[in-house]
Structure 1
Amino acid sequence: MKQIIFIFLLFTTFQSNAQIVEELEYNIRFGFIRGGEAILKANDTIFQDKQSIHYYMEAKTVGLTEKLFPVYDIYESFVNPENYLPYMAIRNVKEQSYKSYNETYFFHENDSIYSQKSGGRKVREGLVDILSVFFYMRQNNLLDKLDKGEEFEVPVYHAGDDFMMTVKYLGTDKVYTDIGEINCHVVSPRVKKGKVLKRSDGLKLYISKDSNKVPLLLEFDLRVGSLKCELRSLKRDGMQLIFR
């Protein structure tokens, strides 16, 4: 469950220009079993006297999964609204008996970061935190420019480590929702398969092929079956957002 929530975080950040409050809610299901839920929020704010987008992500287990492996994670990010690079990121996780809190500050002018836990160091150029990855794909309509089979890389920072994330564009497909069929871009991030994923490319993300670029569905090919993260609710200032 821990690795699943990590991958979910990588690819479910939304709306690069958050002028008003937005909120997305997801169900995490293993077959017919609802094992978790996540809430994402975005709004404009001021960070250290600078205009910023504040992203807030809360993910937790529910039901039987909560009893077997309780998880309650909160991630926050303050992002530059012009280039979508983070100013600061917060990681606050509680997973069974494990607890960890850290703040990381990004200094892109000299490609460095400062972590409350590990101190300062040099990093890759254009590094983004765990909640900023999706901005890269939305920036300059990247997904609309890719051909099926093309790949791109994103420098990512998470839990004290920085690495290159490779993403493959799989083309387009349709997702069936309560409001009808929605055309989507489909991408497959390549990650370490570990003990949960069946293979390193064993997940797919479906992103609405419209101006909203909303992540609707995330599918995992696990060693013991399949798991889906499904969009349950999408709101803007408390009103349901209609896809067009």
Structure 2
Amino acid sequence: MITWFIYILSLLSSYPVFTANFPGGKVPYINTAFQSGEELYFDVAYGWVKGGEASMTIDLVPVGYDYMYHVKAEAHTTGMFALFSPIQDTYETYIHMLSGLPIKAIRNIRENNYTYYNELLFFRQRHFIRSLNSGDHPAPDNTLDILSAFYFARRHLFSHNLEKNQIISLFTFFDDQFLDIRIKYKGKEMVRTRFGKVRCMKFVPDTTNNKTFTKEKQLQIWVTDDRNFVPVKIKAHLPIGSLKCALTGYKGLKDPEGQLRNEK
């Protein structure tokens, strides 16, 4: 799920960009969306066949005289997919507890015979990102890596005050290029899950100048309509086929009185 979720996020960009101002200027410090100890588990299906599993976890780690959120996302293929197309991917990001902005990001990919490893360091006061593979890149102060972008959206951008068709924009650095990820809020829906019906907020791609997603129904993302904003379901129709992701387990949610109340 994580590999494809991150791949989908990268496709949400209409086109690569080279410089931008992050919307909103300074970010607030409050965090009501997630906490250390949160764990999310997912199944991913290609068509109707389960093909993989994934997890997203958060803990606190000491960095100098401070603590950072350490977010780790892991994904692997299962069953016949693991035999013919083995995947073991890991994404990590270290997020400043107050700002919600990343300090460091790691990408470790193992897919069949292909391997890829990279680290990013964010030097915000000096306005650049250092890539282990490609060197230094001048960057706006509030640039995100692709994994921290999702947690930044949960914390700062997903809101119960969103209006239908409102656009959310996230400025990111992925594959050594800058991407402006844009998604559109489509309202609230009740979604069937293994935990029962869950009230969710629905998001689709902004199709304006988007070469990958020309129709909103090509990608649909549902997150819980509460302060946790947990992703419970994703449907995507990609050139490689149909993809479905579903939340299968969770624990340590920040708001225990949200749509997913009993830890599973």
The answer to whether the superposition gives a TM-score over 0.5 is: yes
What secondary structure sits across from 1:109 in the alignment?
coil
Tell me how far 1:130 sits from its aligned partner.
1.3
Distance 1:150 1:159, change over 3 A: same
In 1, Cα distance between equivalents of 2:38 and 2:97:
15
CA distance in 2, matches of 1:162, 1:156: 6
How many residue pairs were aligned? Answer: 234
Check whether the contact 2:3–2:75 (CA below 8 A) recurs between aligned residues: no
Instruction: Tell whether the 8 Å contact from 1:8 to 1:218 is kept in structure 2 after alignment.
Output: no
CA contact (8 A) 2:158 2:229 kept: no
Report what 2:231 is aligned to: 215
- Residue type of the alignment partner of 1:82: L
TM-score (norm 2): 0.79
CA contact (8 A) 1:173 1:183 kept: yes
Matched, 1:203 2:223: no
Inter-partner Cα distance in structure 1 for 2:61 and 2:2: 30
Structure with the bigger RCO (C-alpha within 8 Å, sep 6+) is 2
Structure 2 residue aligned with 1:243: 260
- Structure 2 counterpart of 1:150, from 166, 173, 180: 166
> Structure 1's 193 and 71: CA in aligned 2 closer, same or farther, altered over 3 A?
farther
**Residue correspondence of structure 1 range 81-96 to structure 2 within 5 A:** 81-96=97-112
Name the structure with the higher strand share. Answer: 1
Q: CA deviation at 1:94?
A: 0.7
Gaps of 5+ in 2: 11-31
TM-fit CA distance, 1:142: 3.5
Identity rate, percent: 29
Q: Deviations over 1:152-177 (max 9, x none)?
A: 21101122222111111111111112
5+ long unaligned stretches in structure 1: none
1:77-101 per-position Cα deviation (integer Å, ceiling 9, x unaligned): 1001111100000111011211111
* Whole-angstrom distance in 2 between the partners of 1:8 and 1:199: 14
Give the corresponding residue for 2:91: 75
Distance 1:8 1:49, change over 3 A: farther
Amino acid at match of 1:126: N
**How far apart are residue 2 of structure 1 and its match?**
9.9
CA gap of 1:223–1:91, structure 2 versus 1, over 3 A, is closer
